A and B are shown apart, each in its own frame.
Chain A
Amino acid sequence: MTEEFLNSFMTGPDERGRFGDFGGRFVSETLMPLILELEKQYEHAKTDDSFWAEMNDLWTHYVGRPSPLYHADRLTAHLGGAKIYMKRDELNHTGAHKINNVLGQIILARRMGKTRIIAETGAGQHGVATATVCAKFGLKCVVYMGAHDVERQAPNVFRMKLLGAEVVSVTSGRGTLKDAMNDALRDWVTNVRDTFYCIGTVAGPHPYPAMVRDFQTIIGKEAREQMQAREGRLPDTIIAAIGGGSNAMGLFYPFLDDKSVNIIGVEAGGKGVNDKMEHCASLTGGRPGVLHGNRTYLLQDDDGQILEGYSISAGLDYPGIGPEHSWLHEIGRAKYVSVTDKEALAAFQLCCETEGIIPALEPSHALAHVIKIAPELPEDHIICMNMCGRGDKDIFTVARHLGFEMGGH
């Protein structure tokens, strides 16, 4: 399939939950009736004005949307090329884009009569967002988090506990995000009647990749309107960091049919994308496989065993990627690159110093790519990057990497 055969890039997935060959519903029979029911309920809610009215009300008054589109003028001047804008989703309640999606899923869960919410989390941002919305609605919340992440994201673990969630430290497998997702799926298989699984990214069995994308699309819709209002035109390049890929899909989706807009996804290159596999770059360093309910690009060995990713950023540390990204990669509509830990750290510091914004390590990856390309671009080239999370949670990690001693931690 090539571009000229498609009228639109915005029609997917098909009725089998496929984006081209990617996506699908690779789950056990116990879960199959549940995801079919979820699909039915979501299809209904999607066209129900009262559902979106509730979402919009909460987005405005609880999350603080719309998030600003900010012209990063000092960074622009510093780099001396393209004009850089940041979509400030780090200013959302709970500090990241994750809550956009959580609100949608939990409103849906309430409509379905579910009383217990489970979630997986890596950096803890999705876990915090889920715990937050559960507290707001008085729902029981259980968050699965890899033991290694529990250790390196202590502030978020405590936040979740303050919000009344039970945080399960996952030691099965290697105790990472993918294992947390396995354990969440095991919980769901066991508690099918009352439990809703709130997935944090655009992956998993259909309808999750489409549903999470739809909830995150608010980012791109706002950015599009704000850019029109500010500049009277669309951006030339949009850039976002990718772990599972939900903030990126949210920014990209409303621009997919705008042929003039370059779309760039930035994967976590860790210590470098090579055969030592110390990275999380599924598209640039993996190949197609089936995991967690969908076919997509995965980090795997010759035998089809899943490999652990590595990244300084816990939020990007996942061996897969949303299936729609795999499809956009294969058809060439979006370009995917990777940046290393080192480059992301440098971007983190530059952003603090030039803009007074402490970014999360995840969007620092997107920013690192902006830093690479902006100086070579003309001044009238507009870049919009997604500042999808703030860096409060990461200051301990960054301090350690910079050799700075933090008292009491």
Chain B
Amino acid sequence: MTRIDAKFAELASAGKKAFVTYVMAGDPDYDTSLEVVKGLPAAGVDIIELGLPFTDPMADGPTIQLAGQRALEAGQTLKKTLALAAAFRTGDDTTPIVLMGYYNPIYNHGVEAFLRDAREAGIDGLIVVDLPPEEDEELCIPAQKAGLNFIRLATPTTDDARLPKVLENTSGFVYYVSITGITGAAAPEAGDVAPEVARIKSQTDLPIIVGFGIRTPEMSEGIARIADGAVVGSAIVSEIAAGKPVAEVLDFVRSLAEGAHRA
């Protein structure tokens, strides 16, 4: 059982929905982002998605892309991102960390070495945007063998015929992308998302977490109500981009978490 599985078991027994946040590692710099990440569990975050900066984030909108650029300009690398996770782990041994990014920095590091280093750093799962099931041999299967969850994105274009393939090697949870589009773009309608969540639920026992376009405590609550949890990324990254003090960023996170936990 990974920390992710344990977290969902704990939430289920408490009758709570999961609140998941995304922040970019190293944005705007290593120390500030470590301070933000360290503060997330106390602000009500159940699972942390830690963005791995990449120069060419094809599935992300401008907010996440700029966050990656700020991080890279401040000297963030894959190694430093793993170091950041390890530094977080020294003070928190239960909050799951999911590393989210693109394949090239991982491929460049070497898959075997990466899986070993990620495990040692206390990473629990991976979301690699540009690795669909068709490329499972690259990283998904080795990651599962190494004891890491491989969390897949399901999208509105994933039809019923394709869904089993997407779910087959997924573990931890399923991340449902609520819109066709990039991160931080159009907002989803809970009414449109509910049938989609039900459709995926009919084919898996894994928790379904919904993200893309969620910006407010109300939206967080509305989405968490119809799924097993909500993810917020760009809205939080925007607060960091605006140069808000860490305490204010965490206050905003707390308001979103309370929304999701009301559901």
Contact = CB atoms under 8 A, between A and B. Distances in A.
A290 B152 contact: no
A60 interface: no
B107 A29 contact: no
A292 interface: yes
A155 interface: no
B78 A304 contact: yes
A189 B134 contact: no
A57 to B, nearest CB: 34
A30 B179 CA distance: 9
A326 to B, nearest CB: 14
A289 B79 CA distance: 18
Which of B69, B130, B166 is packed against the most chain A CB atoms within 10 Å?
B130
A290 B103 contact: yes
Interface residues of A, number: 36
Nearest to A186: B182
Contacts of A304: 54, 78, 104-109
Nearest to B156: A30
Interface string B71-99: 01000011100000000000000000000
A306 B56 contact: yes
Contact of B130 (A290, A298, A303): A290
Nearest to B102: A290
B108 A291 contact: no
Contacts of B107: 289-290, 295, 304
A289 B55 CA distance: 13
A138 interface: no
Interface in B131-186: 131-135, 152-159, 162, 166, 177, 180-182, 185
Given A291-B104, A304-B104, A304-B106, A182 B58 contact: yes
Contacts, number: 118
A16 interface: yes
A26 interface: yes
A289 B159 contact: no
Interface string B100-118: 0011111111000000000
B39 to A, nearest CB: 27
A304 B114 CA distance: 13
A186 B65 CA distance: 12
A182 B132 contact: no
Contact of A28 (B53, B130, B156): B130
Nearest to B159: A33
Given A33-B157, A173-B69, A306-B104, A27 B56 contact: no
B132 A28 contact: yes
Given A304-B106, A305-B55, A29 B158 contact: yes
B245 interface: no
B59 interface: yes
A34 interface: yes
B159 A189 contact: no
A274 interface: no
B155 to A, nearest CB: 4
Contacts of A16: 134
Interface string A283-320: 00000011111010010101111100000000000000
A289 B108 contact: yes
Interface string A16-31: 1000000011111111
A173 B65 contact: yes
A188 to B, nearest CB: 10
Residue among A30, A34, A189, A293 with the highest chain B CB neighbour number at 10 A = A30
Given A173-B69, A304-B105, A190 B154 contact: no
A157 to B, nearest CB: 23
B61 interface: yes
B129 interface: yes
A30 B183 CA distance: 12
Interface in B27-74: 53-59, 61-62, 65, 69, 72
Interface of A: 16, 24-34, 172-173, 178-179, 182, 185-186, 189-192, 289-293, 295, 298, 300, 302-306
26 contacts: A26-B131, A27-B132, A28-B153, A29-B152, A29-B155, A30-B59, A31-B157, A32-B157, A33-B159, A173-B55, A182-B57, A182-B58, A185-B59, A186-B61, A186-B182, A189-B180, A189-B181, A190-B181, A190-B182, A191-B180, A192-B180, A291-B104, A300-B108, A303-B77, A304-B106, A305-B54
